[in-house]
Structure 1
Amino acid sequence: MNRDRVGVVFGSLTPPETLIRSARLAEQLGIQELWFSEDCFFTGGFSGLTQLLASTERARAGLGLVSVLTRHPAVLAMETAGMARMYPGRVRIAVGLGNTHWLDQMGLTARRPLTTVLETFDALRDLLHGAELDKRTDAHRFARIGLEFLPEVQPELWIGAVNARALRAAGRADGVLLSALSGESYIFWAKQQIGTDAPRPPRITAYVLASIDDDEHVARNAVRDAVGFFLTAEAHSALVGQSRFETEVRSRVASLAPNERLAVEDEWLDEFAVAGTPAQVRNRLEGLLSAGADSVGLWLFPSGDHDRQLRRLAELSGGT
């Protein structure tokens, strides 16, 4: 398996003070694609991305994703430009709506969510290319705003998308970020929605909940709670809708009592995560890549055993 197609996701489960050590270890082990997931209310996305870039020398590092509602596009462009100037050729930024529960907690709503995502993406791209914006969009106002310090090397601009309309619109981006729970059937379907008609089809990276252990039961149990959390949150979305367990998962989630955890079946883990022995994990990753992902970003479990998981990953993906 080509190790250039396997990356690692850091974020909510990574204590900020351990991020530098783990990022350095990942690069030393030959992992060249790093992502930072901004999850509210854990570690800020740009501080996390800065640590990934500052503690490594060559790895590409992406922020994925950052909500279009938590920062004005001009502030997002300003932050992105600074990162791109300091670390040319290594920066990726993925924008999307974000987790609606967290947005509700902050009183942030979009009248037309997809429109807001696309208008923010376009504004971000235009500002980074030196445009001065003087207009209103559906969610924001720009009054003669331009960046003072433009990047010499343009950062990659990605869109995070889940459902069909967003995936079709995401073809304008440098890359498309697919959410955790992405299985083979979903990735194959998502790539069809994105299409390949653009002169440069966007790169597709899928987030994957993962664990590697010589005991497959230990690995499965390490991701079980996380899979249950995401299935509960995404039961309505295409991530579940495009799976063979659509009816079963949605029915089970609908019957949950308040604060009740979803019981996750072993066969669901095979669809929505990558967990097992090194041989099983290798086969599952090859299946996800064959389904249409250009790379996978692994969210490694258990979170308290991150460094050992990185070493196991490097072993099966050809690292040293």
Structure 2
Amino acid sequence: MTALGAVFRPQSPPEKLRSVVRTAEEAGLEELWLWEDCFLESGIASASAALAWSERLRVGVGLLPVPLRNAALTTMEAATLHRLFPGRARLGVGHGVQDWMGQVGARAESPMTLLREHLVAMRALLRGERVTVDGRYVKLDGVALDWPPATDPAPPAVLSGARGPRSLRLSGEVADGTVLDASTTVEGVRAARALIDEGRTRAGRTEPHSVTVYVLAATGPGAGRRLAAELDREGLAPGAAPGVAGNAGDVAAAVRRYADAGADTVVLQSTADDEDPDAFVRFTAQEVRPLLQS
């Protein structure tokens, strides 16, 4: 069965996170996802708190922008979370928004090369390997984690954010899963799966590769208007039909369509004007999820 999650958007102040985590835990939500968007909230700090405030909730971060991060530091943080909260952290890395990366002096000339080097180094370190590499961006000299995470039955997955064909093929080649943003349509998931598989074939990889997709969802009064406004803010054409507006049945039907297209996890993303993230989490867990179990 496809896992169902919701986003805690960082446009909400950090002090609201605890309430949302408690609500998610009590409502039975499977996954709560966080963003490390500039210049809002830290992904790792928020994930650490969310995991500590819950007992069974899985917490994802999608995404950690690699231009802001040293590969060794990112892996140390990931390994710490995986040891403190085994099986409950899902971490993704990605290019980051290039304008934001430019604002902090971290814009890479070759984002693809940087992401590849970061992913390869992270996965090797999380396997417990000692890594020496002299790449264009990632340079490690005999680096190994003193406290690597458990690797039985497998090392923790490293997810990659991807949108374009080259990034999707790269994710299939060197990542353990892919995170697709809310601009992705149902057909876009199918197309992404095909490109990911091209990369997997090229690398000779046969293990499972998870696909997580964010889906814009609006419910309650004015849902259609609010979804249309969100799409307009993001520069997305309503005719492309990403997202869903309506009641729990409408949203559940959309989740099924994304799942049938190849999504392993569907993460519902509220509109930016939603001022009650707790209510959105309860809606996802208590109204939408039961419809997917029938």
Identity within the alignment, %: 32
Q: What is the Cα deviation at residue 27 of structure 1?
A: 2.1
Query: Are residue 318 (structure 1) and residue 287 (structure 2) matched?
Result: no
- 1:205 pairs with 212, 228, 236, which one? 212
- How far does residue 146 in structure 1 lie from its aligned partner after superposition? 2.1
- 1:219 corresponds to: 223
1:289 Cα offset (Å): 1.4
Task: Please give the alpha-carbon distance, in whole angstroms, between the structure 1 residues aligned to 2:112 and 2:84.
Answer: 31
1:246 aligns with none
Verify: 1:181 aligned to 2:179, yes or no: no
Structure 2: 5+ residue stretches without partners: none
Residues 158 and 177, structure 1, Cα contact 8 Å, conserved in 2: yes
Q: Note if 1:66 corresponds to 2:38.
A: no
**Secondary structure of the structure 2 residue equivalent to 1:35:** strand
Q: Name 1:262's counterpart in structure 2.
A: none
**Separation in structure 1 between the aligned mates of residue 17 and residue 225 of structure 2, nearest angstrom:** 24
The answer to whether residue 275 in structure 2 is matched with residue 274 in structure 1 is: no
Equivalents in 2 of 1:48, 1:103: separation in Å?
A: 21
8 A contact 2:8–2:20 mirrored in 1: no
Q: 1:87-106, aligned counterparts within 5 Å?
A: 87-106=85-104
Tell me if structure 2 keeps the 8 A contact 1:90–1:155.
no
Corresponding position of 1:253:
none
2: CA distance, partners of 1:138 / 1:125 = 18
TM-score (norm 1): 0.82
Deviates more, 1:285-294 or 1:151-160: 151-160
Task: Say whether the 8 Å CA contact 1:11–1:39 is kept in structure 2.
Answer: no
Matches within 5 A, 1:68-147: 68-147=66-145
Q: Aligned residue for 1:160?
A: 161
CA contact (8 A) 2:182 2:213 kept: yes
Structure 1 residue 57: Cα displacement: 0.8
State how far apart, in whole Å, the 2-side matches of 1:134 and 1:291 are.
Answer: 40
Q: Hey, what does 1:31 align to over in structure 2? A: 29
Aligned position for 2:195? 193
* Residue 185 of structure 1, CA deviation: 1.4
> What is aligned with 2:256?
286
Which whole-Å deviations, capped at 9, do the CAs of 1:234-261 have from their partners, x for residues lacking one?
A: xxxxxxxxxxxxxxx5xxxxxxxxxxxx
The TM-score, its normalising length taken from structure 2, stands at 0.89
Is the CA contact 2:8–2:277 (under 8 Å) kept in the aligned structure 1? no
Could you give the per-residue CA deviations for residues 264-307 of structure 1, whole angstroms, max 9, x where no partner exists? Answer: x5x45xx1222222222222221111111112111123431212
Unmatched 5+ stretches in structure 1: 233-248, 250-264
Quote the residue 2:51 is aligned against. Answer: 53
Say if 1:80 and 1:148 are closer, same or farther in 2 by CA, change over 3 A. same
Is this contact kept in 1: 2:19–2:278, CA < 8 A?
no
Judge conservation of contact 1:157–1:175 (CA < 8 Å) in 2.
yes
> Which one is further off, 286-295 or 145-154?
145-154
| 1-structure distance, mates of 2:140, 2:105 | 22
**1:71 CA drift (Å):** 0.8
SS at match of 1:281: helix
Q: Following TM superposition, where does structure 1 have runs of at least 4 consecutive aligned residues deviating by more than 6 angstroms?
A: none
* CA offsets 1:42-99 (integer angstroms, 9 cap, x no match): 1111111112211111122111111111010011011111111111111221111011
SS in 1 for 2:163: coil
Partner SS, residue 101 of structure 2: helix
- Give the Å deviation of 1:134: 2.7
Give the distance between the partners of 1:279 and 1:161, measured in 2 at CA.
29
SS of 2:11's partner is coil
Aligned amino acid, residue 206 of structure 2: P
For the residue of structure 2 that corresponds to 1:293, the secondary structure is: coil
Report what 1:259 is aligned to. Answer: none
Displacement, 1:121? 0.5
